[in-house]
Amino acid sequence: MARFIIRSLVSTVITLFIVSIALFLLLEAGSGDITVKILGVFSTPEQRASYRNQLGLDDPVYLRYIDWLIGNEWRAERQVGLDLVTVEDPVTGEDTWWADVDGHLVRWSLEDGELMQMARQEDGSTVASPADVVWAVDENGQESFWGVDDKNNAVKWVRGEGAEVWVLTKAGMRKEGDGPQDYIPLRKGLLRGDAGKSLQYGRPVSLTLWPRVRNTLILAGVAFLVVMPLALVFGIIAGINEGRPIDRFISVTSLGATATPEFVTGIFLIMIFGIWLQWLPAVAIFTSPDAILENPLLLALPVMTLTAVELGYVIRMTRASMVEVMGSPYIRTAILKGMPYWRVVIRHAVRNALMAPITIIMLHVNWLIGGVVVVEAIFGYPGLGKYIYDAAIFGDVNAVEAAAMVTVIIAVMTRIIGDLAYTFLNPRIRYA
Amino acid sequence: MAVAQPTAGAVPSQGPSRWAKMWKSISIVFESRIATVGMVLVLFWVIIGLISLVWTPYPPNAPEFQQNLPPNTTNWLGTDHLGRDLLSRLMVGTQVILLKTRLPWAGLVFPIGVAIWGVIGSVLVGAFLGLNAGYRGGWWDQVTMQFLDALIAFPVIVLYLVVIAALGQGDLVVILAITVTGAPGVARLVRSLALDIKTRDYIRAAETRGESPWYIMFVEILPNARGPLLVDSMLRVGYAIFAIGTLGFLGIGLPPPDPDWGTMVNEARKNIFTNQWAVIWPSLAIASLVIGLNLFADGLREELTRYQK
């Protein structure tokens, strides 16, 4: 058993690795110039070039993958020559980067050709003073200095040559003199819990992803709680009445429900309950982060849509397994020895028939994620699916990667749990 | 029948004539009521599509009528938000998924639709990987299965989104996406079949004759795995149509100008409060075609396994 778990975990890690590289290359190959999407089609080539430099997109792809995976402050520390540390910003909750100069946290900025040093105080504010730094002289006679700027980049300033950079502000691009020549956007890397900044929103992915994951887990969890009992009951009824009209009815209805795409089901439910009857809200508009907890009715139609699609599938599985068990010799023996029919069904058949559906449901989680994307798109539900959709369309590498990692982990973990549950339910199976 | 063609290959020449054999295998369908119903549904849409190639009531893309009309005597199914005839659009909508593939950059239009090419692609790739993994075993098997496990763990919808976001919209891209997402499933099926078939005596005989592994895999094993593979590909055509509809609904499906059902639903749902008909018809069309394919495949599987017993 332990060997099986270890092998599964190793396989999971390899899987995650392959998936992340594949995604990285795909997005690299196809998304074109991401700065056009961030800055808009009317941005000038200089603005785009400057912004590419600020995002570190000029680095080769393997280096950016390593940055994404394990971070890059080790690379920046070699340039700066000081330890780089993160401190949480008390206002935004985001990590900020500082250089550690003899126990004081410091950043720098170039103002009118003079380097200013900004020391961090206990309360989070900074005190500016002229910096007493030694400019390094390279072979061309240029005096340069690597430091940390106020936007969490390790940057290279060149004395007397403040570059003109385009800075993205809320009001658009602004041209600034005194800019650095080279940037390394600091990050810790995914393995240390930093998935980077969303290119679309400019906020750390790690902070924005979790509320979405929570919303989706609530949606999928409620759907699961609705689907399971219904599916098992209908599946068992169909299974013990094999070939009778009630079985035909349940089988055909569940086949229809499974084969109908989620968006068709969702649209029909919106038309019936949202437009004609006006019983339920037709879209899930979140007026506050906890809107689903305050108004559970928002969940009604999304859950119904997911249920309709999943229900049919699980019913079919349960029915098939029930039919098989009901035809087995030990059930015949139990009936022949005079046991009441219902006790045979409940005590002997159901317990054995439930093994297959439980594992298959676990394997089905992948399919469920696809359904969740569509359901969230229909109802405007702010969950993981919509997050992936928006990020993939934008070409937001960091957000897509992080969200895909979450979904892959969920899919693989449920598969392993399914396998383990099977060994507990079915003592005949042993993993060597 | 148009659906059955792709995997029907390698008919031995002796014995009853080719057509008699084909008819014999097709007539299995009529022994199952479920399969018959499914085939009627599928054939209905194939015929509608064929008719639409030569005739539609009105031009499908011309906004000639009043907007958002309910069904009436001129426009049998009503009109959409741009005043286009829904019946004509619905009919032409079958073409892109079942009957033709467009390559606008080459100015070419191929026969057979996007959904079916996608399934052919995944069967070819999947059969290649599965045969190698199953027949050769060992190192081939380990690497292939690890690779496929990664692909299977990959949420299909994310793969679709990323591939299309990366490579742009287009028939070829959708075919590619369906191929990549379908291949792992086919490969697993073919692998398990190959593991079973390779223990048979006729494989031993071929090996003794000194046939090459490629000959054994593609001439001896693959034709003997065609039954389950055929049923599986039928289901996959259903999934593919399902997926194309979903992509269209998400706004990244098959590109215009030809109407596509998923895209029709997506455009019409913005006006769902004023005009429900434009949403209902394409939704019903997708659902009925996918259900038809599922029934067909299910019935066929039931009949085939009955013969095996």
Q: Nearest by CB to A15, which of B150, B162, B284?
A: B150
Q: Nearest by CB to A408, which of B146, B154, B252?
A: B154
A-chain residue closest to B237, CA distance? A259
Backbone φ and ψ for A157, nearest 5 degrees, come out as: -100, 145
Interface test with B, best of A9, A264, A409 (most B CBs within 10 A): A264
Contacts of B201 (CB under 8 A, 6+ apart): none
Identify the pLDDT of residue B8. 45
pLDDT digits (tens, 9 = 90+) for B31-71: 778 888 888 999 999 999 898 888 888 888 878 778 878 88
Question: For residue B76, is pLDDT > 70?
Answer: yes
**Separation in Å, CA of B284 to nearest CA in chain A:** 8
Q: Nearest by CB to A255, which of B146, B162, B294?
A: B294
In sequence order, the β-bridge partners of residue A129 are A117
Closest CA to B179 of B128, B113, B90, B118: B118
Interface test with B, best of A18, A267, A306, A365 (most B CBs within 10 A): A267
Question: For residue B121, is pLDDT > 90?
Answer: yes
In sequence order, the β-bridge partners of residue A100 are A83, A105
How many residues make up chain A in this entry? 432
Q: Measured between CB atoms, does B269 come within 8 Å of chain A? A: yes
Q: What's the CA gap between B134 and B192, in Å, rounded?
A: 7
Enumerate residues 328 to 387 of chain A having a beta carbon within 8 A of any beta carbon in chain B: 366-367, 369-370, 373-374, 377, 385
Identify the pLDDT of residue B162. 78
Is the Cβ–Cβ distance between B157 and B250 less than 8 Å?
Answer: no
Identify the pLDDT of residue B3. 47
Reduced DSSP (H G I as helix, E B as strand, rest coil) percent helix, strand, coil of chain A, to 5: 60, 15, 25
Q: Do B249 and A377 touch (CB under 8 A)?
A: yes
Residue that the structure tokens 């063609």 belong to: B5
For B226-291, give the secondary structure using H, E and C.
Answer: HHHHHHHHHHHHHHHHHHHHHHHHCCCCCCCCCCCHHHHHHHHHHHCCCCCHHHHHHHHHHHHHHH
Q: Nearest by CB to B163, which of A14, A26, A260?
A: A26
Q: What's the CA gap between A141 and A44, in Å, rounded?
A: 32
Q: What's the CA gap between B183 and B179, in Å, rounded?
A: 6
Identify the pLDDT of residue B127. 92
In sequence order, the β-bridge partners of residue A111 are A114
Q: Do A271 and B272 touch (CB under 8 A)?
A: yes
| CA distances (Å), origin B266, targets A306, B7, B52 | 19, 33, 22
* Burial category of A208 from C-beta neighbours within 10 Å (exposed 0-12, middle 13-18, buried 19 and up): middle
Question: For residue B89, is pLDDT > 80?
Answer: yes
pLDDT digits (tens, 9 = 90+) for A343-401: 888 888 887 777 777 767 776 776 777 788 888 888 888 888 888 888 888 878 888 88
Q: Nearest by CB to B155, which of A370, A394, A415?
A: A370
B-chain residue closest to A30, CA distance? B166
Q: What's the CA gap between B188 and A260, in Å, rounded?
A: 26
CB atoms within 10 A of CB A82: 17
Chain B CB contacts of A251 under 8 Å are none
Q: Measured between CB atoms, does B117 come within 8 Å of chain A? A: no
Q: Measured between CB atoms, does B176 come within 8 Å of chain A? A: no
Question: For residue B288, is pLDDT > 70?
Answer: yes
Residues of chain A with pLDDT under 70: 30-32, 160-163, 169-172, 177, 359, 363, 366, 426-432
Task: Give me the mean pLDDT over the B107-119 stretch.
Answer: 84
**Separation in Å, CA of B194 to nearest CA in chain A:** 23
Is the Cβ–Cβ distance between A365 and B127 less than 8 Å?
Answer: no
Q: What's the CA gap between A194 and A70, in Å, rounded?
A: 9
A-chain residue closest to B156, CA distance? A370
Q: Do B291 and A259 touch (CB under 8 A)?
A: yes
Tokens of B227: 């039954």
Q: Do B283 and A268 touch (CB under 8 A)?
A: yes
Q: Do B165 and A271 touch (CB under 8 A)?
A: no
Backbone φ and ψ for A148, nearest 5 degrees, come out as: -110, 130
| Cβ contacts from A onto B, under 8 A | 138
| Amino acid sitting at position B76 | W
Q: What's the CA gap between A247 and A255, in Å, rounded?
A: 12
Q: Measured between CB atoms, does B165 come within 8 Å of chain A? A: yes
| H and E: helices and strands count for chain A | 17, 11
Q: Do B276 and A415 touch (CB under 8 A)?
A: no
DSSP letter for A135, please. Answer: P
Q: Measured between CB atoms, does B245 come within 8 Å of chain A? A: yes
Q: What's the CA gap between A239 and A152, in Å, rounded?
A: 62
Chain A CB contacts of B280 under 8 Å are 268, 271
Closest CA to A100 of A86, A90, A88, A110: A86
DSSP-derived secondary structure for A161-222: -PEEEEEEETTEEEEEEEE-SEEEE----GGGT---B-TTTSSBHHHHHHHHHHHHHHHHHH
Q: Measured between CB atoms, does B37 come within 8 Å of chain A? A: no
Say how many CA atoms lie within 13 Å of A385 toward its Cβ: 28
Q: What's the CA gap between A108 and A159, in Å, rounded?
A: 13
Q: Do B147 and A18 touch (CB under 8 A)?
A: yes
Q: In a 3-state reduction of DSSP, which class is residue A318?
A: helix
Closest CA to A410 of A118, A93, A10, A16: A16
DSSP letter for B79, please. Answer: B
pLDDT digits (tens, 9 = 90+) for B218-267: 888 888 888 888 888 888 888 888 888 888 888 888 887 788 888 888 88
CA angle A274, A276, A280 (to 5 degrees): 25
Q: What's the CA gap between B192 and B304, in Å, rounded?
A: 18
Sheet hosting strand A95-101, strand order edge to edge? A83-88, A95-101, A104-111, A114-120, A126-130
Q: Nearest by CB to A389, which of B147, B156, B250?
A: B250
Q: Nearest by CB to A19, which of B150, B249, B262?
A: B150
Q: Measured between CB atoms, does A15 come within 8 Å of chain B? A: yes
Phi-psi bin for A361: left (phi > 0), alpha (psi -120 to 50), beta?
A: alpha
Closest CA to A266 of A228, A296, A304: A304
Q: What's the CA gap between A308 and A257, in Å, rounded?
A: 6
Q: What's the CA gap between B211 and A44, in Å, rounded?
A: 64
CB atoms within 10 A of CB A30: 16
Identify the pLDDT of residue A267. 86
Chain B CB contacts of A263 under 8 Å are 245-246, 249, 262, 265, 283
Q: Nearest by CB to A275, which of B272, B293, B295?
A: B272
| CA distances (Å), origin B203, targets B14, B197, B206 | 21, 8, 5
Q: Do B246 and A400 touch (CB under 8 A)?
A: no
Q: Do A404 and B294 touch (CB under 8 A)?
A: no
* Burial category of A248 from C-beta neighbours within 10 Å (exposed 0-12, middle 13-18, buried 19 and up): middle
Q: What's the CA gap between B296 and B44, in Å, rounded?
A: 13
Q: Measured between CB atoms, does B143 come within 8 Å of chain A? A: no
Identify the pLDDT of residue B34. 82
**Separation in Å, CA of A274 to nearest CA in chain B:** 9
Q: In a 3-state reduction of DSSP, which class is residue A152?
A: coil
Q: What's the CA gap between A426 and A35, in Å, rounded?
A: 55
Q: Measured between CB atoms, does B309 come within 8 Å of chain A? A: no
Contacts of A262 (CB under 8 A, 6+ apart): A305, A306, A309, A371, A374, A375, A378, B246
Q: Measured between CB atoms, does B294 come within 8 Å of chain A? A: yes
Q: What's the CA gap between A416 and A420, in Å, rounded?
A: 6
Q: What's the CA gap between A31 and A175, in Å, rounded?
A: 26
Task: Assess whether the previous peptide bond of A229 is cis (omega < 30° from 0).
Answer: no
**Separation in Å, CA of B169 to nearest CA in chain A:** 11
Q: What's the CA gap between A210 and A388, in Å, rounded?
A: 13
Q: What's the CA gap between B261 and A143, in Å, rounded?
A: 64
How many residues make up chain B in this entry? 309
Question: Could you tell me the end-to-end alpha-carbon distance of chain A, in angstroms, rounded to an integer?
Answer: 7
Longest dimension (CA), chain B: 74
